[in-house]
Amino acid sequence: MTVAHDGPVATIVVDGRDKLNALTLPMLAVVDGLAVGGGLELALACDLRIAHSRAAFGLPETGLGTIPGWGGTERLTRLVGASRAKELILTRRQIDAVTALHWGLVNSTTGNLAAEVDRWVADLLGSAPIAQQVAKQLVDAAAGGAPSATLEAIASGFTAHTEDFAEGVNAFLAKRTPHFHGR
């Protein structure tokens, strides 16, 4: 994996989609154009996806005699449901950004991608890193069928003993913005 930092945002080139999905930080995919085949599967491995209004999405592999082989069938099905996943995979059709938003494939679509990315990054940077990591793992576990109520109770007990939790409560009571340090 190669990581290039540009301020608070990192550009990551990953040699395996599962490695991207396993990162503890929230991963935001930004789509500005076509996301087809492996490009869509890379975006699916991220936690959140935002797209320019001109973006398009598709999985054309069946037209090549193969299937989406980097987690596309599983992740797409989890996001949009079996029927829509089959539609995209079996017909090889591409969908536009508005349809992708309606289906739940992307979280946001906009004509001003730079401003939208800034907004999402600011929101993500405003949360406690440990709490984000644990929440991400819980959501992934729940999506995989794990008993989330039990896991949430354990995770709440864990995060309640972090410095970030104390900072969050103190900032709330003082009506100020918290300053998290990942401890």
State the angle between helix axes of 129-143 and 148-159 in degrees (0 to 180), rounded to the nearest 10: 170
Residue range 3-32: mean pLDDT, rounded: 62
**CA 77 – CA 84 distance, rounded (Å):** 8
Read off the pTM.
0.75
**CA 123 – CA 140 distance, rounded (Å):** 20
**Secondary structure letter of residue 48 according to DSSP:** E
When pLDDT is cut at 50, 70 and 90, the band that residue 16 belongs to is low
**pLDDT more than 70, % of the chain:** 83
Give me the residue label for tokens 């995989």: 144
Active site residues: 41, 61
The encoded tokens of residue 159 equal 């995060």
Residue 91 confidence (pLDDT): 94
Tens-place pLDDT, residues 79-99: 999 999 999 999 999 999 999
The encoded tokens of residue 172 equal 């709330």
Residue 63 confidence (pLDDT): 83
Question: Strand order of the sheet with strand 34-36?
Answer: 34-36, 56-58, 95-96
36 compared with 171, residue with greater pLDDT: 36
Residue 9 confidence (pLDDT): 42
**Secondary structure letter of residue 8 according to DSSP:** T
The domain ranges of the chain are: 2-124, 128-174
**CA 55 – CA 125 distance, rounded (Å):** 26
CA angle 173, 179, 182 (to 5 degrees): 120
Q: Is domain 2-124 annotated with CATH 3.40.50.2000?
A: no
When pLDDT is cut at 50, 70 and 90, the band that residue 18 belongs to is low
The encoded tokens of residue 90 equal 């079996």
Tens-place pLDDT, residues 34-84: 999 999 999 999 999 999 999 999 999 988 888 888 888 889 999 999 999
